[in-house]
A and B are shown apart, each in its own frame.
Chain A
Amino acid sequence: MNTPPNLILLFVILFNFFILGTSRLNTCIRSVALQGALLSLLPLFLHTLTFHTYLLAVGAFVLKGLLMPWLLFRAIRQVKIRREVEPRIGYIPTLLLGALTTAGAFIFGDRLPLLPEHLHSLFIPAALSTLAAGFLMLITRRKAIAQVLGYLMFENGIFIFGTLLAETMPFLVEMGVLLDMLVAIFVMGIVMHHINREFSTLNTEQLSLLRE
């Protein structure tokens, strides 16, 4: 329980709560970045220290911890917004939902048939609860940038699960996955810029011209 990976995952879960509860986008971006940076340490503790593991850790750190926050900060500087004013569901209900899903993740995580070395580790619950928190962000927030952050948290959750399986992925594919994510954020940043230009706001509520 007190092994370094579990402590990292514990902080990751706490970050989920923190991100769900804050309205300042700056803080949110920083927290998501910190979460990603913490996660990039995981492979180092979990696997034998080969060249592959180092590269994965460094790659994930550079992308999740440095490049993506940089892109997002640039994006909010361009569109000049600071906080998510009124989410679709308030912060407290979101927090409560987050707590419920986390508890659910812990219960569900113990029911699945796990390898003996993963039993009672925090990997599965942390992955599931981070996924759920990302989903909550995507659903409840109106600002495009907060939705992108939700997507990033979602990816962080998948990354946690992925580190359990790093051996099954060739290095090439892993880098491809990370690169795809980076480009996704980049393209989303550009689209956000254009949304802001067309609508003078980043509220995705405004994006309701196309409907049946």
Chain B
Amino acid sequence: MLLYAVIFLPFAAAALAAVLPSDRLRPWLIPITALLHFALVLGITATAAPAVNPNSLLGLDALGRFILFVVSLLYAACSFYALGYFRYHADWENRIFITALLAFLGAMTIAAASRHLGLLWVAVEATTLVSAPMIYYNRNRFSIEATWKYLLLCSVGIALAMLGILFVAYAGLHGGGEQELLLDQMLASASLYSKPWLRAGFVFLLVGFGTKMGLAPLHTWKPDAYGEAPGLVGGLLAGGLTSVAFLAILRAVQIMIAAGEQVLVRQMLLALGVLSLIFAAVFVIRQRDIKRMLAYSSVEHMGILVIGVAVGGLATYGAMFHVLNNALTKGVLFMTAGNIHRHYGSKRMCETQGALSVLPYSASLFLAGFLAITGSPPFAPFMSEFTILRGMFAGGHLVLGALFIGLLVVIFIGMGGTVLPVTMGPHLEETEDEASDYRETLLTIGSPLFLLAAVLCLGIYLPEPLKIMFSEAAKLVEVTP
């Protein structure tokens, strides 16, 4: 029952936002909805998991609950930033943006809760469509280009995923007779499926949802879209949407595991993961644009997630932990990068130097977020990456482990080369005159501060309920026998 409320709430709020006449009142819908949503999600996760009805289209298993929790937490934290953001753009028309923003939450919720591959597809495609107007919010040449690329690439990618779903369905038809695409039924009968169709289907699903998730070499829309979207949207895309796409890939992995096809899964995921790390390492070096840099960092972390799942065992647990850490830290980084961008009116490194002296809070949060995302202790991403690494060595993947460390170091240096001048470099005097009237407010600082505090706390102490949540989710996608 609670589940239907969680799904219904954002859409109701979106409808309300669409009809509400006041541009000043409308932003308040975001935090209200987000907090209610988070409260409901907490209510769901706090109760013991009820058995999922195998014939229902909707239901939350451990994996779905976990992803929903991550998305809802990030969204709730970002919602206050949104208030500050709209206060700054008080004269802009925000009806479409806020409606889309709320519907975005709804679509992600459905995706997390769907027990039917078709419904999952519909929800993921819906997230693409509602996020397009959010990326175009700045209404200039750059953002229209980013929107077009995002829309076309992701739509085609998602179409490939549909083909993958149909292939899997045909595998079922060929092997097990008539059945629906309900996840539980598929998992039960996956061992009977026709293998060639299933494999082809998995590859298409991985390519399709991998495009959405931003795994290299399917990531090309990512720097453009993240670079041009408002910081708030960038954070939600990089932290929330990618987690949902990851969930979609994990659903395919689940079916493959049930069919006994772990080898192909591991090979494919490992290949894409390592490729993502390499692409990120190559492009993050000398990256002049802070938001694009964050996009490549996102590609890197998507790579880490799939590598974790591919390695299996302890690393899968680490990957689940990392989903949460990546989401929260990306929220910090994109929101503070948005603040810096707004102050300087630019996101090029050469024009945004020395932010620490004009925007002390944003810049220091940005710096701390950088340290966190690159896996410096004591922040939580260090813990999760270290867990993945331990899983690698425990599984005997020594070369992979060494490569992993090496690439992370390169990315650390590459990102540092951009982040340090931006935050701590000499302040350029002439920009002072033309600097915008943007000042840091409690709302635009509070959200990232809260997220960073959470990341720090999780790094020092991981509460028991979360541990259980991770390990239960990891159990579902365990690839090692």
Direct contact of A and B (CB under 8 A): yes
Say yes or no for A131: interface residue by CB 8 A criterion. yes
Given A151-B152, A176-B122, A210-B228: A168 touches B163 (CB 8 Å cut-off): no
Count of chain B residues with a beta carbon within 8 Å of a chain A beta carbon: 50
Say yes or no for A44: interface residue by CB 8 A criterion. no
Q: How far is the CA of A195 from the CA of B146 in the complex (A)?
A: 11
Q: How far is the CA of A155 from the CA of B178 in the complex (A)?
A: 24
Say yes or no: A177 contacts B121, CB within 8 Å.
yes
B200: min CB distance to chain A, Å: 8
Say yes or no for B298: interface residue by CB 8 A criterion. no
Given A168-B180, A180-B122, A180-B126: A210 touches B142 (CB 8 Å cut-off): yes
Residues of A within 8 A of B89 (CB): none
Q: How far is the CA of A11 from the CA of B166 in the complex (A)?
A: 23
Q: How far is the CA of A147 from the CA of B152 in the complex (A)?
A: 8
Q: How far is the CA of A183 from the CA of B131 in the complex (A)?
A: 12
Indicate the member of B116, B126, B163, B228 with the most A CB atoms within 10 Å. Answer: B163
A203: min CB distance to chain B, Å: 12
Given A112-B197, A169-B118: A158 touches B147 (CB 8 Å cut-off): no
Interface flags for B36-68 (1: CB within 8 Å of A; 0: not) read 000000000000000000000100000000000
Say yes or no for A88: interface residue by CB 8 A criterion. no
Say yes or no: A176 contacts B145, CB within 8 Å.
no
Say yes or no for B478: interface residue by CB 8 A criterion. no
Say yes or no: B125 contacts A198, CB within 8 Å.
no
Say yes or no: B122 contacts A168, CB within 8 Å.
no
Say yes or no: B142 contacts A113, CB within 8 Å.
no
Given A168-B169, A168-B173, A209-B145: A151 touches B163 (CB 8 Å cut-off): no
Residue of chain B at shortest CB distance from A128: B163
Residues of A within 8 A of B181 (CB): 168-169, 173
Given A173-B118, A180-B125, A209-B142: A113 touches B163 (CB 8 Å cut-off): no
B177: min CB distance to chain A, Å: 10
Q: How far is the CA of A180 from the CA of B118 in the complex (A)?
A: 12
Q: How far is the CA of A176 from the CA of B133 in the complex (A)?
A: 20
Residues of A within 8 A of B197 (CB): 112-113
Q: How far is the CA of A134 from the CA of B125 in the complex (A)?
A: 19
Say yes or no: B136 contacts A191, CB within 8 Å.
yes
Q: Within residues 160 to 201 of chain A, which ones have a CB less than 8 A from any CB in chain B?
A: 161-162, 164-165, 167-170, 172-174, 176-177, 180, 183-184, 187-188, 191, 194-195, 198-199
Can you name 18 A-B residue pairings with CB atoms under 8 Å? A112-B196, A112-B200, A113-B194, A151-B159, A161-B167, A169-B181, A170-B118, A173-B122, A174-B118, A177-B118, A180-B126, A184-B125, A187-B132, A187-B133, A188-B151, A207-B148, A210-B142, A210-B224
The 10 closest A-B pairs by CB, nearest first: A173-B118, A176-B122, A207-B145, A180-B125, A210-B224, A168-B169, A165-B169, A198-B141, A161-B166, A194-B144
Known: A144-B148, A158-B159. 9 other contacts (CB 8 A): A151-B152, A151-B159, A158-B163, A161-B167, A173-B116, A177-B122, A191-B136, A191-B148, A212-B223
* A interface list, Cβ under 8 A from B: 112-115, 131, 138, 144, 147, 151, 154-155, 158, 161-162, 164-165, 167-170, 172-174, 176-177, 180, 183-184, 187-188, 191, 194-195, 198-199, 204, 207-210, 212
